[in-house]
Structure 1
């Protein structure tokens, strides 16, 4: 059962470490830390992706900025109470950490596979330039009755395809994690720059549920 759950959420990202480790939380005496890596896109721009790492995987007291880190694990979410509201926080939960030489780095080191259920009616729209987009919130099961809620973006034909999906539809998808800056209004004329994370979907499949 656990093997099945672990395989329904698979991520591999690799990029330059651009921060030091900062403490996140402790579970049963094990300490977890956050670190940011800059993952290159094919367009030569970068996504800054947060990675959660156990102190048992790497020396979190060392400064690895400038090194190329590869993290394999899962894309996870949790709700953080922020300004009297719950805020969805996303990061890559690392199960394995490897440091690469620069010439080992992949051309496109950002892969994710998710197997989950649509938990909110997809929202289809067109950009001012006519590009088709659909927003999908996917619930991906985790052990012990927990779930991760992953925002996903579909494009073109995939956007039109997911528009018809109802809540509870079982799908699998492949893509990449991307970061996006936006302005959050926090006062009358005051805005704060924040970063959102989502999965940009390149391929998806609808799964028929088996009858019991």
Structure 2
């Protein structure tokens, strides 16, 4: 059962470690740490994505900055309480970690597959230049009654297709994990720069049940 559930959320990336390990939390005596990895896009831009790593998988006392790693695992979310608000925090939960000498598969540095359910009505819109976009929030089940809530963004005909999906609909998504900077306005004079993490959709299917 657990293996089957893990199959519904699979991500693998190859990239360069660009931060130190930072303690996150402990579960039953096992410490978990976050570390950032920079992943190249084909467009020569990069995505900087947080990893969640167990101290039993990697020597977290070592400085890995500048090293190339290949990791696989799951894209996970949790709600962090900030005052009266909840913030959705996303990271790749690492199950396998391997140092690599060079990236021989430049087209396969960032791949994700999700099998989940639409949990909010899709938001369809067009940019000022006429590009079609749809924002989706997908719930992916995990063992023991938990779920991960993954923001996804679709483009073009995929966006138009996704705009027809109903809440509770079963979908499968293939794409990549991306980071995106945005500016949040606090008041008339102040604004803050934030980073959002989401899945950029390359292919999606609606599963009729």
Deviation at residue 182 of structure 1 after TM alignment: 1.0
Number of the residue aligned with 1:21: 21
Deviation at residue 191 of structure 1 after TM alignment: 1.6
Deviation at residue 14 of structure 1 after TM alignment: 1.2
| Conservation of the 8 A alpha-carbon contact between 2:124 and 2:160 | yes
| Conservation of the 8 A alpha-carbon contact between 1:40 and 1:108 | no
- Match of 2:119, SS state, is strand
Deviation at residue 103 of structure 1 after TM alignment: 4.8
Looking at structure 1, the residues matched to 86 and 19 of structure 2 have their Cα atoms a distance apart, in angstroms, of 26
Q: How does 1:164-179 map to 2 (within 5 A)?
A: 164-179=164-179
Number of the residue aligned with 2:95: 95
Q: How does 1:20-59 map to 2 (within 5 A)?
A: 20-59=20-59
Deviation at residue 186 of structure 1 after TM alignment: 3.4
1:6 aligns with 2:6: yes
Deviation at residue 24 of structure 1 after TM alignment: 0.4
Number of the residue aligned with 1:143: 143
Deviation at residue 105 of structure 1 after TM alignment: 5.5
For each residue in 1:65-91, what CA deviation from the matched residue of structure 2 results, as whole angstroms up to 9, or x when unmatched? 000011100000000112421000000
TM-score (norm 2): 0.97
Structure 1 unaligned regions, length at least 5: none
Give aligned pairs, total: 209
| Conservation of the 8 A alpha-carbon contact between 1:177 and 1:199 | yes
TM-score (norm 1): 0.96
Looking at structure 1, the residues matched to 118 and 187 of structure 2 have their Cα atoms a distance apart, in angstroms, of 33
Number of the residue aligned with 1:192: 192
Looking at structure 2, the residues matched to 50 and 122 of structure 1 have their Cα atoms a distance apart, in angstroms, of 26
| Conservation of the 8 A alpha-carbon contact between 1:9 and 1:112 | yes
Q: After TM superposition, what 4+ stretches of structure 1 lie above 4 angstroms from structure 2?
A: none
